[in-house]
């Protein structure tokens, strides 16, 4: 197996991912998520990271077709069911486990999960 340096020298495409986050977008890092979370007044714990990992994995598995927001919501609810499901995740992600979680995971939130006009005079 060639080394990373050999692969780069030979012009091969090299995709680096964060350890533990094999489905992360190529330009995403844990530090990026930590910095963004800090701006949003969140401290990322174990379940935040598990949610971010789950979102990245879901997106990777569904990259060839449109995302089903309801299905994604249900998948997160099921994954965290023993701890309280989606209600528990709203406690972790006050901006919404899908919308805010996707932002921290380096993913574009599905349509309909972010309503910028809610509560404002638009």
> Does some domain include residue 44?
yes
> Does some domain include residue 83?
yes
Please state the pTM of the whole predicted model.
Answer: 0.77
Structural tokens at position 85: 């499901």
> Does some domain include residue 19?
no
| Domain extent at residue 84 | 24-105
Domain tally, the chain: 1
Q: What angle do CA 104, 110, 116 make, to 5 degrees?
A: 80
Instruction: Give the span between the Cα atoms of 78 and 72, in whole angstroms.
Output: 10
> Does some domain include residue 96?
yes
Q: Give pLDDT tens digits along the chain (122 positions).
A: 444 455 445 665 444 555 678 889 988 999 999 999 999 999 999 999 999 999 999 999 988 878 888 999 999 999 999 999 999 999 999 999 999 999 999 999 887 776 554 444 44
> Does some domain include residue 5?
no
> Does some domain include residue 35?
yes
> Does some domain include residue 48?
yes
> Does some domain include residue 13?
no
CA 91 from chain centre, in angstroms, equals 16
Q: Residue 26, class by beta-carbon neighbours within 10 Å (0-12 exposed, 13-18 middle, 19+ buried)?
A: exposed
């Amino acid at each position: 197996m060639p080394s990373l340096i050999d692969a780069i020298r030979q012009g091969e495409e090299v995709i680096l991912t964060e350890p533990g986050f094999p489905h992360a977008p190529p330009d995403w890092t844990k530090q990026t998520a930590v910095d963004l979370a800090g701006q949003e007044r969140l401290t990322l714990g174990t379940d935040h990271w598990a949610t971010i990992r789950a979102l990245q994995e879901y997106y990777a598995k569904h990259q060839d077709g449109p995302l089903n927001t309801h299905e994604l919501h249900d998948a997160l609810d099921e994954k965290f069911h023993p701890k309280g499901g989606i209600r528990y995740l709203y406690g972790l992600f006050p901006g919404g486990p899908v919308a805010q979680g996707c932002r921290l995971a380096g993913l574009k939130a599905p349509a309909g999960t972010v309503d910028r006009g809610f509560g404002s005079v638009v």
